């Protein structure tokens, strides 16, 4: 008698847990602070790189580079990579694309029209990196992937100009957004009907997905805007569910990508002889390319035991990190260790952009409580440095309202359960 009663009860509990999980994934965009940090981190990294290489842009990605126009055409015809730089070989077109890449990175960082800027940011990253494929490193590969994932996230819900505008002004009064998407739609039509996009390929596993992705994002955003503007309640709810599902899925993919990077790096290190005997960190310190501070590198290489511990510790942290996501305290400790490690790599080995890209990828695992404390600290510092008077009061109320709106929503992706 008891077993027949316990079975339906267990089934009801299981169904309730599944329903709660589905509601949590589709009812709200999780991790608003984490997605904002990712947006700021990757756009800032790419912006700083473009500004630093601005005097050398023609040699890296332009017409004066060693990877010439003919060689780039042959490679792209084979791998079907996406780059708008191959639309024209003129210097003016290159300067325009480079300028768009810089502006979109800056505007995405401050959160102005994040949906539009995320698409332009992706186009700029893919266009420049696919034009000269041998100019990148591991950090560029991370930016390459994350630029695609950012398109599907709602990364402007906090810490952005979009969040301030959403509180101050109703969406129906927005005219800039539809104008931007109209211009982008015209560019997509131009690229489609002039044959600039590569729509065909002989290899089924090497599909040119970027043109389809651009059209899908444009049509989806236009449909979502029309539903929110003119639709009834039920279509609006459905549109919000789709947007939340895309955001949460992209955030999970970013987390999985970061775990995959560390797991593969750690397991490949285990197979290396230099990592097995604990001398792997010693050798880069004696290479001129990785020694921006020769005296500091020489000083660090003179301590054998710390280098041995750092070598083994790096492998242990990278291999163990994906398994620590089930324990927040251990995960936070290893996360702080990895961020510190990347900061040291940026200074000691002279790899600032690689380190910034990896720190931005690690930011998806930062606790929401820590990010909120950081937000309150930044607000207090800003209030002391730039005290608000009179006209600043509406902006302060907008910030407070936005903060209350976010606090009513789920805290973070790390609280979601499968």
Q: Positive or negative CA dihedral for 154, 130, 188, 121?
A: positive
Helix (H, G, I), strand (E, B) or coil at 75: helix
Q: Find tokens 């790599």 and name the residue.
A: 345
* Number of domains within the chain: 1
Q: Packing angle between helix 114-131 and helix 32-52, nearest 10 degrees? A: 40
Per-residue model confidence as pLDDT tens digits over 264-291:
999 999 888 889 888 898 888 888 888 8
Per-residue CA distances from 368 to 335, 372, 410 (Å):
14, 6, 10
Q: Which domain holds residue 366?
A: 25-163+231-379
Cα end-to-end distance, the chain, whole Å: 32
Domain presence at residue 289 = yes
- Name the pTM for this structure: 0.86
Per-residue CA distances from 270 to 259, 267, 355 (Å):
17, 5, 22
In contact, 49 and 371? CB cutoff 8 Å: no
Domain presence at residue 190 = no
Per-residue model confidence as pLDDT tens digits over 119-173:
999 999 999 999 988 887 888 999 999 999 999 999 999 999 999 888 877 655 6
Domain presence at residue 182 = no
Between CA 9 and CA 241 the distance in angstroms is 29
Domain presence at residue 101 = yes
Between CA 349 and CA 287 the distance in angstroms is 9
From the centroid of its chain, how far is CA 228?
27
Between CA 185 and CA 172 the distance in angstroms is 20
State residue 173's pLDDT score.
64
Per-residue model confidence as pLDDT tens digits over 183-238:
888 888 888 888 777 755 444 444 567 888 888 899 998 888 888 888 888 888 88
Domain presence at residue 3 = no
Domain presence at residue 418 = no
Domain presence at residue 84 = yes
Closest among 69, 232, 44, 61 to 146, alpha carbons compared: 44
Domain presence at residue 219 = no
């Amino acid at each position: 008698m008891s077993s027949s009663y316990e079975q339906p009860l267990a089934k009801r509990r299981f169904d309730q847990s599944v329903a709660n999980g589905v509601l949590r994934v589709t009812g709200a965009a999780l991790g608003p602070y984490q997605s904002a940090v990712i947006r700021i981190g990757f756009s800032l990294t790419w912006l700083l790189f473009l500004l630093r290489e601005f005097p050398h842009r023609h040699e890296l990605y332009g017409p004066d580079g060693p990877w010439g126009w003919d060689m780039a055409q042959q490679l792209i015809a084979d791998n079907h990579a996406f780059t708008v730089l191959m639309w024209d070989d003129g210097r003016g077109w290159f300067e325009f694309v480079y300028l768009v890449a810089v502006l979109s990175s800056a505007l995405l960082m401050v959160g102005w029209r994040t949906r539009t800027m995320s698409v332009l940011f992706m186009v700029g990253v893919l266009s420049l990196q696919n034009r000269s494929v041998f100019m990148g490193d591991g950090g560029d590969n991370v930016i390459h992937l994350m630029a695609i994932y950012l398109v599907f996230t709602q990364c402007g819900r906090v810490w952005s100009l979009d969040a301030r505008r959403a509180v101050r002004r109703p969406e129906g009064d927005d005219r800039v957004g539809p104008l931007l998407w109209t211009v982008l739609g015209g560019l997509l039509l131009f690229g489609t009907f002039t044959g600039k996009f590569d729509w065909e390929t002989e290899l089924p596993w090497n599909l040119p997905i970027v043109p389809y992705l651009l059209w899908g994002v444009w049509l989806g955003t236009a449909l979502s805007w029309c539903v929110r503007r003119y639709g009834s309640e039920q279509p609006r709810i459905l549109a919000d569910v789709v947007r939340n599902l895309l955001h949460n899925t992209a955030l999970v993919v970013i987390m999985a990508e970061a775990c995959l990077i560390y797991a593969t790096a750690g397991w490949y290190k285990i197979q290396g002889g230099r990592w097995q005997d604990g001398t792997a960190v010693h050798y880069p310190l004696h290479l001129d390319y990785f020694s921006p501070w020769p005296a500091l590198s020489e000083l660090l290489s003179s301590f054998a035991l710390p280098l041995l511990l750092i070598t083994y510790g790096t492998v242990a942290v990278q291999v163990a990190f994906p398994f620590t996501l089930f324990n927040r305290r251990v995960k936070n400790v290893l996360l702080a260790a990895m961020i510190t490690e990347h900061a040291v790599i940026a200074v000691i080995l002279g790899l600032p952009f690689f380190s910034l890209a990896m720190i931005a990828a690690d930011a998806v695992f930062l606790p929401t409580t820590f990010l909120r404390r950081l937000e309150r600290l930044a607000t207090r510092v800003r209030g002391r440095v730039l005290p608000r008077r009179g006209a600043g009061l509406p902006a302060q109320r907008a910030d407070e309202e936005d903060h209350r709106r976010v606090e009513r929503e789920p805290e973070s992706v790390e609280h979601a359960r499968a």
